Amino acid sequence: MAKATKENVPVGLPPTCILIRRDGVEAAIEDSTAPIHDRHGRVTGAVMVFHDVSSARALTLKLAYIAQHDTLTDLPNRALLNDRLSQAIALAQRHHTALALLYLDLDRFKHINESLGHLVGDRLLQSVALRLTECVRATDTVSRLGGDEFVILLSEVAHEQDAAISADKLLQTIRKPYVLDDHELHVTASIGIVVHPGDGTAVESLLQNADSAMYEAKNRGRNNYQFYRSDLNSSASARQSLESALRHAIERKELRLHYQPIVNLTSGAIAGVEALIRWRHPTLGVMLPDQFISIAEESGLIVPIGRWVLREACRQGRAWRDAGLPDMRLAVNISAVELRSPEFVGGVQGILGDTGFDPKWLEFELTETYLMQDSKSTSLVLSAIKELGVQLALDDFGTGYSSLSYMRRFPIDTLKVDHSFVRDLAMDASDASVVSAVINMGRSLHMRVVAEGVEAMDQLSFLREHGCNEAQGYYFSPPMKPSDFAEWTRCNAAEHAGV
């Protein structure tokens, strides 16, 4: 006010001002003061106007916080980590001190999501985030980059050994059991360590090198930490190592099949089962298809692996039938590389003859991408497969070309709606429309429609209301070992027989 009257100019308070009332309550305000003049233009006083901007200021702060933090774990995200790391590097260079960066990735987290579903996976990530935060100093930063990847910034370390001690403490904390609902989970982690300035002086180089060191920890059996070395070339060496090990997986009997039931949504009875491959790597543990199938396809190993999968699935299917389990469709994934193999159809015929499995119960799951490759030869191969009595399913429908022209051209029996559409169909109108359209299209083309990735009751209710034929997913059961699947099937049969 004094300035307004002395200098005869309007004055505003700084934008961060707080008004403290007599009762002690604080309020964020905006203020302006303007001089009052008499008829001769002399300043006789001033008028002050206050605006309560508490809500607007709180919203601004909230939006700024959301932009810098991970929504699932409430940890700093990549943007905030980059900012803090930049500041830490500047301080370290100014004071000639060191800092360390620990890149942590949970081991086999995808397997947990595969077997228990994303809800359990999310809760596990939240629990891990809490443990990591409790393990470090208040001056350090624990951030989540996404998925199951975390980065810990140790803002000040005296020696490399300090980083090693912290990494060992983190590994021990992660290893303690997690009790989530009825699940007791045991998790390990792999950690890569870099130290500034020796392993890098910029944000990106430190993060990249820490990531490389983490993959080295994976390659060395997981559940350990590794310091960065300049000779690390993680992606190439890891891929080469996997390909080399994969070449011996069949002869070493490291491959396994798990089975996930497909349920009839009208009766609730089992309608089929999908065979899903697992690789028990000698050092890396159980690996899911997305971790090695692309390598198998690019190297050509998918042909002998696919032949093993088909033979083992048919052998198991015949064994279940001989044991008195009900007849059911047996779905096996077939890659484009296998279908392009000249010996494929003859190989299928030979396996069916050797195992005694009835081809009318066998179904090959194909991807849309394959159907778009050389439609003439594709049509010939699929026709030959149909002549054997085998059914055909279009897998991951909706994620590729989804052209009605090839839908009518090829002898498809089943459409499988991709799980990405099923996941949010109860909340996302667009996904709901896609699923509904696929169901209607399948009905008009006289095709069976199977929804993948069903995890919740609201998804199941939507599918039933819209006339979807069948579904599979964690709501019914995760993929199981053969003996567990047999027991599940007997229980399902007894339940729907009124026993």
Query: Does 464 or 13 have the greater pLDDT score?
Result: 464
Residue 225 pairs in a beta bridge with 191
Tell me, what amino acid is at 128? Answer: V
Average pLDDT over residues 432-461: 91
DSSP letter for each residue of 172-202? HHHHS-EEETTEEE---EEEEEEEETTT-SS
Which residue, among 158, 123, 127, 129, has the nearest Cα to 141 in the 3D structure? 129
Per-range mean pLDDT, top range of 79-83, 112-116, 398-402: 79-83
Residue 445 phi/psi, 5° resolution?
Answer: -95, 5
Q: What share of the chain is helix, strand, coil (3-state, %, to 5)?
A: 45, 25, 30
**What pLDDT, on the 0 to 100 scale, is given for residue 171?**
96
Does this model's pTM top 0.85?
no
Residue 322 has pLDDT above 70, yes or no: yes
Query: Does 399 or 270 have the greater pLDDT score?
Result: 270
The span from the first CA to the last CA of the chain, in angstroms, equals 87
**What pLDDT, on the 0 to 100 scale, is given for residue 114?**
58
**What pLDDT, on the 0 to 100 scale, is given for residue 281?**
93
Residue 471 has pLDDT above 90, yes or no: yes
| Confidence at 499, pLDDT banded by 50, 70, 90 | very low
Per-range mean pLDDT, top range of 14-23, 179-188, 200-209, 364-373: 200-209
Average pLDDT over residues 342-363: 95
**What pLDDT, on the 0 to 100 scale, is given for residue 1?**
47
Residue 160 has pLDDT above 90, yes or no: no
> How far is 361 from 328, CA to CA, in rounded Å?
6
Mean pLDDT computed over every residue of the chain: 85
Residue 254 has pLDDT above 70, yes or no: yes
Q: What is the DSSP letter of 274?
A: E
**What pLDDT, on the 0 to 100 scale, is given for residue 4?**
45
Burial class (CB in 10 A: 0-12, 13-18, 19+), 146: exposed
pLDDT > 90 fraction of the chain, expressed in percent and rounded:
51
Residue 3 has pLDDT above 70, yes or no: no
Residue 372 has pLDDT above 90, yes or no: no
Residue 227 pairs in a beta bridge with 193
**What pLDDT, on the 0 to 100 scale, is given for residue 115?**
57
> How far is 78 from 67, CA to CA, in rounded Å?
10
Query: CA angle, corner 445, sides to 460 and 338, nearest 5?
Result: 85
Average pLDDT over residues 328-356: 91
**What pLDDT, on the 0 to 100 scale, is given for residue 374?**
42
**What pLDDT, on the 0 to 100 scale, is given for residue 6?**
61
Average pLDDT over residues 277-306: 89
Query: Does 85 or 15 have the greater pLDDT score?
Result: 85
> How far is 216 from 205, CA to CA, in rounded Å?
17
Residue 493 has pLDDT above 90, yes or no: no
The β-bridge relationship of strands 470-471 and 448-451 is: parallel
What tokens appear for 340 in the block? 């392009």
Q: From the CA atom positions of the chain, what is the Rg in Å?
A: 31
Residue 88 pairs in a beta bridge with none
User: Residue 245, SS3?
Assistant: helix
**What pLDDT, on the 0 to 100 scale, is given for residue 320?**
97
Which residue, among 450, 447, 457, 448, has the nearest Cα to 435 in the 3D structure? 450
Do residues 10 and 37 touch, judged by C-beta distance below 8 A?
no
Domains along the sequence of the chain with CATH: 2-60 (3.30.450.20), 71-232 (3.30.70.270), 242-496 (3.20.20.450)
Per-range mean pLDDT, top range of 301-305, 329-333, 366-370, 452-456: 329-333
Q: Name, in order, each residue with C-beta under 8 angstroms of 13's C-beta and a sequence gap of 6 or more.
A: 29, 30, 31, 32
pLDDT > 70 fraction of the chain, expressed in percent and rounded:
86
> How far is 145 from 125, CA to CA, in rounded Å?
12
The count of residues in the chain is 499
Residue 166 has pLDDT above 80, yes or no: yes
Query: Does 224 or 425 have the greater pLDDT score?
Result: 224
| Confidence at 60, pLDDT banded by 50, 70, 90 | low
Do residues 273 and 330 touch, judged by C-beta distance below 8 A?
yes
> How far is 81 from 77, CA to CA, in rounded Å?
6
What tokens appear for 415 in the block? 């459409």
Residue 313 has pLDDT above 80, yes or no: yes
Residue 63 has pLDDT above 70, yes or no: no
DSSP letter for each residue of 121-138? HHHHHHHHHHHHHHHS-T
215-to-82, 172, 175, 192, 298 alpha-carbon distances in Å:
21, 19, 19, 7, 21
| Confidence at 111, pLDDT banded by 50, 70, 90 | low
